Amino acid sequence: MKLIIEIPLKRSYFSFASHLLVCIIALLLLGSCKGSRRLANSSPEFTIIQTAKSYSGTPYRYGGTTRSGIDCSALVYHSFAAVGVNLPRTSTEQSKLGEKVPLNSARPGDVLFFATGKKKKEVSHTGIVTEVKNKEVRFIHASTSRGVTEDYLSNSYWTKAFLFVKRLETK
């Protein structure tokens, strides 16, 4: 008489291993999305952002338009000029162009406008969205204290000063 003993552990082990493999593959596929869209190197938005980033570390200078000193609107002006878009020189005038988009629709290359002065609703600062990842908006701008740098909109200072987002035509 043969005694056959079935070991349920083997069966559950293989079931567990196959489920684990499926979960790992799903996580890898989902993780590759990361809630953001990667820009093509040939896109105007990529060029705009790379131009702005090339000014990183440039000191802030009110009215400045060069690499020895630049203000926020000149950074936006030069970045868009790199793709043939001619913008006004001031953030107030720049804010009158383009299409307003909801913040939750912001994407790299969009322009953010802020009220950093005494008047809470008057545009006085601008920056360019460089990344949107998991609803977290990162932007580059010319900071009066740190020069050209990147910040997150979730920073309480920028959240309070934020007014709106504009998408400018780049074609």
Q: In Å, what is the CA distance from 131 to each residue of 89, 110, 164?
A: 24, 10, 16
Q: Which of 19, 23, 33, 125 is catalytic?
A: 125
Q: What residue type is assigned to position 89 of the chain?
A: R
Check: CB of residue 125 under 8 Å from CB of residue 144: no
Distance CA 94, CA 102 (A): 18
19 is catalytic: no
Q: Which of 19, 23, 33, 72 is catalytic?
A: 72
Q: Which of 23, 33, 78, 141 is catalytic?
A: 141
- Collapsed DSSP state (helix, strand, coil) of residue 124: coil
Distance CA 5, CA 18 (A): 23
72 is catalytic: yes
Distance CA 148, CA 155 (A): 17
78 is catalytic: no
Active site residues: 72, 125, 141
